[in-house]
């Protein structure tokens, strides 16, 4: 049987741990590298966001009148009052869209916008 012996020359001495130091110049370089994507994002937003304002189309404005909900009112009764010659379902849809109503419940004292085409 053979044995292997290691002498002190074969073992490497332990190196002291070195600490990473960032110089002032290195900090500036890191700051520039970190800010490049931010600057690119801002530049992209500025250049692409302005195209929405380039339209020369005329915008239509919605005209409406408001009515106050009184006790006993429902959307059906209001639609029947403001447009007696129209289908109440169509009028209810337009009132709901204009007022962004989620359901058909109304509270007394609510102000409802009614399209001007149905007002007298």
pLDDT tens per residue across span 30-53: 999 999 999 998 888 888 876 555
How many angstroms separate the CA atoms of 101 and 91, rounded? 13
Strands 64-68 and 111-115 come out as: antiparallel
Q: What are phi and psi of 108, to 5 degrees?
A: -60, 130
On whether the CB atoms of residues 112 and 67 are closer than 8 A, the answer is: yes
The residue that leads in pLDDT, 12 or 85, is 85
Given a cut of 60, is residue 64 above it in pLDDT? yes
Contact 106, 112 (CB under 8 A): yes
- C-alpha torsion sign, points 70, 67, 91, 103: negative
């Amino acid at each position: 049987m053979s044995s292997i012996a290691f002498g002190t020359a074969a073992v490497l001495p332990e190196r002291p741990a070195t600490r990473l130091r960032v110089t002032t110049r290195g900090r500036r370089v890191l700051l520039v590298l970190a800010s490049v994507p931010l600057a690119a994002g801002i530049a992209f937003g500025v250049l692409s966001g302005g195209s929405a304002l380039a339209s020369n189309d005329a915008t239509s404005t919605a005209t409406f009148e408001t009515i106050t909900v009184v006790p006993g009112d429902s959307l059906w009764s209001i639609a029947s009052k403001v447009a007696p010659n129209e289908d109440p379902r169509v009028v209810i849809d337009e009132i709901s869209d204009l007022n962004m109503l989620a359901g058909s419940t109304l509270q007394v004292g609510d102000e409802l916008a009614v399209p001007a085409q149905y007002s007298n």
